[in-house]
Amino acid sequence: MKLFNTLTREIEDFIPNKNNQISIYVCGITPYDTTHLGHAFTYISFDILIRYLEFKKFKVNYTQNVTDINDRDNDILKRAKKQNVSWQNLSDFWTKKFLNDMQKLNWRTPDNYLYASKEIQSMIMLINKLIKTGAAYKINGSVYLDIKKDKDYGKLSGLSVSKMIKIAKDYDENIENPEKKNPLDITLWRATSLNQPTHIPSFESSFGKGRPGWHIECSAMAINSLGEKIDIHGGGRDLIFPHHEAEIAQSENATGKTPFAKTWMHTGIISYEGEKMSKSLGNLIMVSELLKKYSSNAIRWVLLSHHYKEDWEFDYSEIEEAQGRILEIEKTLSKKLIDNKNDTDYIKQFELFMDDDLNTPKALDLIYKISQNINSGGLRKLLEILGFN
């Protein structure tokens, strides 16, 4: 099996760390709004990866997180204040909505589904390790990672310093903070200010009251649930910098072990009406709305008809066509399927496509071809592997 590794920028043979056991961490949602198609594309792509690995007899340990808090005055806190509800209640409400949407898409529930707000102690322990190694420094109750101490910082994104600064600004990375030695130093812990509003969460630590940085949360949750070296780390391509770049620096400097993640996988970006889907543009396609008209299998078909690394633009004509194909396949499945002498060959061909960096578009073409021409018992098996119900 070959997978594209963002870290090396090459398609590589995927070899698990040990005993055919595979650890996977995928960055999860910030729960302040409903599930859009961009979310679904990322999480269904990794759902397929996990299902296929299990089909190949690997044992997978899968962690996903919920970023219900971080160091910034983010959308959860702003929305909670505006609606006059607690950030915990807002987070719980939208997380349940997300899980409900994804379960309707027959999504594989992670083995470890972790909320950042419940993992504070593991974050504090990791920050203390970074302070002890000299990779991090404390100022006025806040803690920062000194990127100058990491000669490999930037190895994942390959970006210039000027480009990093530009993107960091877009992510509200507080690069103009006068406490930092370097504008790009990573916030590990943000101290509670004297005039901090009461709706913003604050936690006790050995370096003072405050809350953890966005990036250290995922480092801590990945290490705590999967170990100091993991097989696959994934998420949307927009997380490569600063989030995943920071995770590498934090994790490897804290543990002294490299690589933190052997393979980095990133999904493409979905657009609609000529623009990247975003709340500010109001062009989000919501899964819950699609489910009112189209089957979960049709939505899954549309998502898998695009390679996971592909940037693409959603069009309703595509899901209409997918719905038609699903109905045709269901009609075939309603007949009495028989074992076909070619079933083994179909599965081998399917594996060739999937072993080639999860080429789901070609796998779907094969499935549709079988459904049109052959009354094959192997059809149901292939659909099952790809998570259709």
Q: What is the pLDDT of residue 307?
A: 98
Is residue 11 in some structural domain? no
Kindly state whether residues 213 and 326 are assigned to the same domain: no
Q: What is the pLDDT of residue 73?
A: 61
Residue whose C-alpha is closest to residue 151's, from 243, 252, 238: 252
Kindly state whether residues 190 and 334 are assigned to the same domain: no
Domain final residue pick, 270, 300, 328 = 270
Q: What is the pLDDT of residue 373?
A: 75
Q: What is the pLDDT of residue 87?
A: 86
Kindly state whether residues 257 and 352 are assigned to the same domain: no
Which two structure tokens, joined as six digits, stand for 210? 């405050």
Q: How long a stretch of residues is the chain?
A: 389
Q: How far apart are CA 217 and CA 300, in angstroms?
A: 30
Q: H or E stretch including 322?
A: helix 316-333
Is residue 281 in some structural domain? no
Matching residue, tokens 């099952």: 384
Q: What is the pLDDT of residue 374?
A: 67
Which residues have C-beta within 8 Å of that of residue 1, sequence separation ≥ 6? 13, 14, 56, 354, 355
Q: Which domain holds residue 170?
A: 17-270
pTM for this one? 0.95
Pairing status of strand 261-267 against strand 112-115: unpaired
Query: How many structural domains are present in the chain?
Result: 2
Kindly state whether residues 27 and 176 are assigned to the same domain: yes
Q: Would you write out the chain's pLDDT as a tens digit for each of its 389 residues?
A: 999 999 999 999 998 767 889 999 999 998 988 789 999 999 999 999 999 999 999 999 999 999 999 887 667 787 888 888 888 988 999 999 999 999 999 999 999 999 999 999 999 999 999 999 999 999 999 999 999 999 999 999 999 999 999 999 988 888 999 999 999 999 999 999 878 777 788 999 999 999 999 999 999 999 999 999 999 999 999 999 999 999 999 999 999 999 999 999 999 999 998 988 877 677 899 999 999 999 999 999 999 999 999 999 999 999 999 999 999 999 988 886 666 667 788 899 999 999 999 999 999 999 999 898 766 678 889 999 999 99
Kindly state whether residues 264 and 320 are assigned to the same domain: no
Q: What is the pLDDT of residue 83?
A: 85
Q: What is the CATH number of the domain that holds 365?
A: 1.20.120
Task: Please report the sign of the dihedral spanned by the C-alpha atoms of residue 121, residue 122, residue 123, residue 128.
Answer: positive
Q: What is the CATH number of the domain that holds 61?
A: 3.40.50.620
Q: How far apart are CA 41 and CA 319, in angstroms?
A: 14
**Helix residue ranges per DSSP H, the chain:** 37-55, 75-83, 87-104, 120-133, 161-170, 214-226, 245-255, 287-290, 296-304, 316-333, 343-355, 360-373, 378-385
Beta carbons of 7 and 231 less than 8 angstroms apart: no
Kindly state whether residues 217 and 344 are assigned to the same domain: no
